[in-house]
Each structure stands twice: as C-alpha cells, then as structure tokens.
Amino acid sequence: RNAQKELASIDRKVAKQQAKIKELHNLLPAHDQSDYTGLGKLQAEVATAEDAVAGFETRWVELSVLLEK
C-alpha cells in the first residue's frame, strides 16, 4: 500500500518537474542572449530538474518491480 502511494506521488512529482523544464525551456530564448550568467543559471535549473526526474524515474522502476512480486 505504501509503495502504491509513493508511486502515485512520484507520478505527480515527475509531472511537476517536467512542467518546470518546459517552462524553463520557454524562458531561454526570451532571455537576453548576451547575459551569459543568467543563461547559465537557467540552464543549471533545467539540469537540476532533469536530474530530479531521472531520480524519480529510477525510484518508480524500483517500486514497480517491488509491486510485481
């Protein structure tokens, strides 16, 4: 039961992070292209969100395997 709850929670977290990634990707072209520091910060936020999604997906697979048993 707890694994099922965590799985549902992970689905919501992944969706939230993917929305954030999409939003950041939309901000990049509109940002001042000569502001390398600002662009770097936006790109770092994208990388952090992508890393979070990868971690959530790994945990999702672990829980799915656990629930199959």
- Residue 59's pLDDT band, with cuts at 50, 70 and 90, is very high
Closest CA to 6 of 47, 61, 46: 61
Residues with Cβ < 8 Å from 25, sequence gap 6 or more? Answer: 46
pLDDT band at residue 69 using 50, 70 and 90 as cut-offs = confident
Taking 90 as the threshold, does the pLDDT of residue 1 lie above it?
no
Selected residue with higher pLDDT from 55 and 68: 55
Residues 13-43: tens digit of each pLDDT? 999 999 999 999 999 999 999 999 999 999 9
**What would the two tokens of residue 11 be?**
């689905």
